Amino acid sequence: MTGLSDDDAAAVERGIAAVEAATGVQVVAALVPRADDYPEAPWRAFALGAALAALAALGWSLAFPAWLAPAALLAQALAILATGGAAAIAARYVPAVGRAFVGAARAEAEARQCADALFLARELFATPRREAILILVAAFERRVVVVPDAGFRGRVTAAEWRGVVDRMTPSLRRDAVREAFAQGLAALEALLRAKGCGPGDGANRLPDGLVRGSGR
* 46 and 29 share one domain: no
pLDDT at 65 over 90: no
Give the Cβ contact number of residue 139 at 10 Å.
19
Number of folded domains in the chain? 2
Greatest extent of the chain over all pairs of C-alpha atoms, in Å: 83
State mean pLDDT over 106-117: 95
134, part of any domain: yes
Higher pLDDT, 191 or 59: 191
1, part of any domain: no
State mean pLDDT over 131-149: 96
61, part of any domain: yes
153, part of any domain: yes
| DSSP letter string, 86-107 | HHHHHHHH-HHHHHHHH-HHHH
Q: Can you give the CATH number for the domain in which 170 is found?
A: 3.10.310.50
* 28 and 66 share one domain: no
Angle at 146 between CA 140 and CA 8, to 5 degrees: 60
* 132 and 25 share one domain: yes
- Coil vs helix vs strand at 132: strand
Domain's final residue, options 82, 102, 122: 102
19, part of any domain: yes
* 62 and 164 share one domain: no
pLDDT at 166 over 90: yes
CA distance linking residue 131 with residue 152, whole number of Å? 7
* 124 and 177 share one domain: yes
* 170 and 132 share one domain: yes
* 55 and 84 share one domain: yes
Q: How far is CA 54 from CA 51, 69, 76, 92, 107, in A?
A: 5, 16, 8, 22, 30
Give the Cβ contact number of residue 98 at 10 Å.
21
Q: What's the DSSP call for residue 140?
A: T
Residue 66 structural domain: 40-102
Q: Look at 32-41, 66-75, 91-100, 131-140 and tell me which has the smallest mean pLDDT.
A: 66-75
Domain's final residue, options 84, 102, 120: 102
CA distance linking residue 94 with residue 127, whole number of Å? 40
* 169 and 185 share one domain: yes
Residue 216: pLDDT band by 50, 70, 90 thresholds? Answer: very low
Give the Cβ contact number of residue 83 at 10 Å.
20
CA distance linking residue 85 with residue 137, whole number of Å? 30
* 85 and 178 share one domain: no
Q: Look at 22-31, 50-59, 139-148 and tell me which has the smallest mean pLDDT.
A: 50-59
* 59 and 149 share one domain: no
pTM score, whole prediction: 0.85
Higher pLDDT, 76 or 196: 196
With CA atoms as reference, report the closest residue to 143 among 185, 114, 100. Answer: 114
93 by Cβ neighbours in 10 Å (0-12 / 13-18 / 19+) ranks as: exposed
67, part of any domain: yes
Angle at 30 between CA 200 and CA 151, to 5 degrees: 40
With CA atoms as reference, report the closest residue to 35 among 98, 81, 124. Answer: 98
- Coil vs helix vs strand at 31: strand
* 178 and 79 share one domain: no
Domain's final residue, options 83, 102, 121: 102
* 15 and 58 share one domain: no
Residue 109: pLDDT band by 50, 70, 90 thresholds? Answer: very high
CA distance linking residue 212 with residue 53, whole number of Å? 40
Instruction: Return the pLDDT at 106.
Output: 93
pLDDT at 215 over 60: no
